[in-house]
Structures are given as C-alpha cells and as structure tokens.
Structure 1
C-alpha cells in the first residue's frame, strides 16, 4: 500500500516539475524575462501534477486515437484550471489569474487559447512524457521509490504550509494598508474633501491656476496654499506614504521576499476586497529596490491611490 502511494506521489511530483518548467518557459518568452511561476516556493506546479495524473488515468485507453486524446485533454485540463481558480479565489479572496482580456474566456478563469495549448500538452504527455516518467520510475527499486517519496513529501508539505502561511500574512498586510488609507480618506473628509480623487483634482486645479476666481496673483495663490486645509491634506498624504513605507519595512525581510515572489508569479492577480491596497503594496515593494527613495515611493502611492 505504501509503495503504491509512494509511486503515485513520485509521478505527481515529476509531472508537477515538468509542468513548472513549461509554465516558466512559456511565461518567460511572453514577458521576455525569466519568470518564476507557481503558488509554491519549490520548482513544481501542483495543478499540473494533478492534471497529468487524471489525464493518464482516464486517457490511457484512448492513446490509439490522438484526436480523442486532444479533445478530452482540453476538457479535463480546462475544468481543472477553472475549479482551481474558483477554489483559490474562495479561500484567499483573490483572483490569481485573469483571462478576461482574451477572446472566448469563461469568467476570466479559462480561455480558448490556453485550453488549446493544454490539449497539445495532453498529447505530449500521453505520447512522450508519460513513457519518459515511467522509464525513470522503473529504474529505481521499490525501496528507493519509498525513500525518495518520503523525503520529497516532507519538503513538499513544508512548502505547502509555508506558502499558505505567507499568503495569509500577505492578506493581513493588505488589510493594514487598507486601514491606513481609510484613515487618510477620513482625514480628507474632515478637511472638506470627500474623496482622494477630489483631493488630487483640487491640487491639479491649483497647479493650473483654476482653483478659484479669488486667486488673483501668484503670490496670493502661494499664501492661500500655505494657510489652507488643502496644504494640511498634502502633508497628510506625505505622512501616509512615510507611514506605509515604514510599516512595510517593518515586515520581516523573508516575508517581503515571499510577497514579491507571489506578485511576480501572478502579475494579473486582483483582490476582491483590497485591490487598491494590493496596487499600493506592489508599487512600494517595487520602488523599495531603489533604496527607499521617498520621492519614488510618493509617486507610487499617488499613481494607485489618487
């Protein structure tokens, strides 16, 4: 029994690893840079491992008919991708990938182009990868299969626990940013500015010289700005940026690295409750590469918050 489970797990890991390689190569070509994809830290994508096992299990009797393998592969893999997207969205309240901008998509979770490639990969799996994996497995004794599976399973489970933990910490950080920006919006309302966009608009109006007919000269504009609540709001905005940067820098370095990895792995990620916080966090983490330049961080927050 343990040998059978070990054999199944080894197949799962090998397929997940091969799937990770395909995902990295495909996305790196599209983005013209090396892109490490996947929810987990290690070099494997479980969705490919699970998908490959199901395809092998159900399509092995149809290997004599390539078109059937292709069509069933499209159905199985697309269904798995849709279910995985839906499940992760329900658990983490975030949409990890979105194909809404591609033709013939279903709720942005699956699209025809990707499904076509999955069909091609199903053919490659059944006629090339499956025999290759079987050849690797049969080269090891039953004892070594169980030893390798046990060691790999320990690392894999640790990876799942740590990656899930980091994702939950990531969500907590978004909540923290949301609280800070909400407090800032409330302070704007106290100053007679109902929204942050209105705040930005008033600043732009002031720059364009159209804030009020009462502003007759450049000197009076400067003096009124110094004395107005708008100036206080601008100070609050600067304080908000400093506060957010400090709060993010308080996060453990390993957490910041993990959060950068998550956002790079899923550049199309969107959050149901804290989308603006996600954009702010992403911008500040990116700009922090430039030695925490205050002006750079200010522009980052302005871009996504205002």
Structure 2
C-alpha cells in the first residue's frame, strides 16, 4: 500500500466515524448533534485509529482472537493519547469515562475498548477489503483531488476550532476574574452580586452601594453578559462534548454549558 491509499482510508474512516458519533448522539438525545472536535463531518481520531490498526494488525488477521486483542490495544492507546494531548493542550477534558468501570484517567475504559476490539475485527476482516476495492476503483486523479481537499479542510478546520477553543479559555478566565471581583464586592456590602448577574433588575443592589461601586458593578455586569453571548463554534463544542470539564475554570464552564442547555430547551418549546 502507498501513502495515497492510507490517506484515502483515513478520509473514509474519519467520515464514517463522524457518522457513527452523530448517529449515537441522535439515538441518545433524539436530535442532531454535530459531534467531534472539528466543525466539518470528519473525526480524525477514527481515521488515525483505523489506519494504525490496518498497519499494525495486518500480520494478525489470520487469528481472530489475537487480532481482537491487538486491535483493541491499538485503538485504546490512540484514544488515550488523543484525550491526554487534548487535555494538556487545551486544559479541558473533552470526554470522561470516570464513572465507567476499569477506566484509565477517564480517557478510556474497558467496556468501550472491548467494543472497539470487536468493531476492528469486523473492519479488518470484512469491511476493509471492500474499502480497498472502492479506493482502487476510484480514478487516481479524482482520489488525489479528494485527498488534497480533505487535508486542506482538515488544516483549516483544525485552525478555526483551535482558535475558538483558545478564545473559550480566555472567556472563562475573564469570567473568573469578574466573578472574583464581584465576590470581593459582595463581601463588603453583604449581598451576593455574582448570583444576580443574570438578573435584569439590579436596582436593589445599587441602592446599597456607593456611586463608584455602582458604576463598577454595571461595568462588570456588561462585560459578563457580553461574555455569555452566543458563539456558533464555542456553543457547538459545548453541545458536542456535554461532559467536557475545565481544568482551570470549572464553575465558569458549567455556567456556559447551562446557558447552552437553556437555549436548547427554549428552542424545543418554540
């Protein structure tokens, strides 16, 4: 096999992985959710995981049981490394298996590893030969164009999503600073100002503070509400990863997630 073939396989399985995630979310939540870290219809972790399984497990395809354990190990390690790196790079835990038995850091767990082992056996022994024939059937020129478009889309999408994630971290940090200052003001006047940030009427609080404090509260409230405003990519990420946890600003992230849940609830009522 050539690099071209492996890139084609990565494209196909990245798309099929996205379809699997969307189908799973649709069954679970009874609605469409664009799952995955990226915005487009691809989940590269699936493409990378399956291609690694194809490369590393090929010598074991004659023995089903051995193929099962080797492929399960390869895919589990891929998910573990991906989860760990995304956690360290973005300071968020994107998925969490902590409540599932036999998990490693919440990144992977035995039940899903067993499922992926079965899936990989099916892919390598049944489905992959069909994919190989399909890739060989597609004219090489057309295939190269699709692969190039896939790589370009991957680079652009990854860049856009990474920037959005970095902005999310900045928003959480800003919300945390505002919350800290409001808590300090609350201690001085004996009223929890932060809990009233979503309120449209702060008149009762303003009556009990000095003019300077009132101006500062108004300024912080305006900044806070501005930070809560909708953002398409940010809100999609929060919907796609409902179990996401922030390593540094847990409370603020939960506030944003609750806002997204309210928007979803209100849209259902309309």
Deviation at 1:290, TM superposition (A): 8.2
RMSD between superposed Cα atoms in Å: 3.1
Which of 223, 226, 239 is the matching residue for 1:246? Answer: 226
The answer on whether the counterparts of 1:70 and 1:123 sit within 8 Å (CA) in structure 2 is: yes
Deviation at 1:7, TM superposition (A): 2.8
Question: Unpaired runs of 5+ in structure 1?
Answer: 201-224, 292-306
Higher-Rg structure is 1
Deviations 1:104-158 (A, max 9, x none): 1111111111111111111121022211211211112332222221222212211
Scaled by the length of structure 1, the TM-score of the pair is 0.74
Which of 114, 117, 120 is the matching residue for 1:119? Answer: 117
Which of 230, 237, 255 is the matching residue for 1:262? Answer: 237
Which of 154, 157, 160 is the matching residue for 1:159? Answer: 157
The answer on whether the counterparts of 1:166 and 1:258 sit within 8 Å (CA) in structure 2 is: yes
Alpha-carbon distance between aligned partners in 2 of 1:228 and 1:160, rounded to the nearest angstrom:
49
Equivalent position of 1:208 in the other structure: none
Deviation at 1:88, TM superposition (A): 0.5
Within-5 A mapping of 1:141-290 = 141-191=139-189, 243-249=223-229, 256-287=231-262
The answer on whether the counterparts of 1:28 and 1:34 sit within 8 Å (CA) in structure 2 is: yes
Scaled by the length of structure 2, the TM-score of the pair is 0.83
Alpha-carbon distance between aligned partners in 1 of 2:221 and 2:70, rounded to the nearest angstrom:
52
Deviation at 1:242, TM superposition (A): 5.5
Deviation at 1:288, TM superposition (A): 5.1
Equivalent position of 2:202 in the other structure: none
After superposition, the Cα gap between the structure-2 partners of 1:227 and 1:17, relative to the gap in structure 1 and judged at 3 Å, is closer
Question: Unpaired runs of 5+ in structure 2?
Answer: 197-204
Deviation at 1:60, TM superposition (A): 1.6
Q: What number of residue pairs does the alignment pair up?
A: 256
Deviation at 1:273, TM superposition (A): 0.6
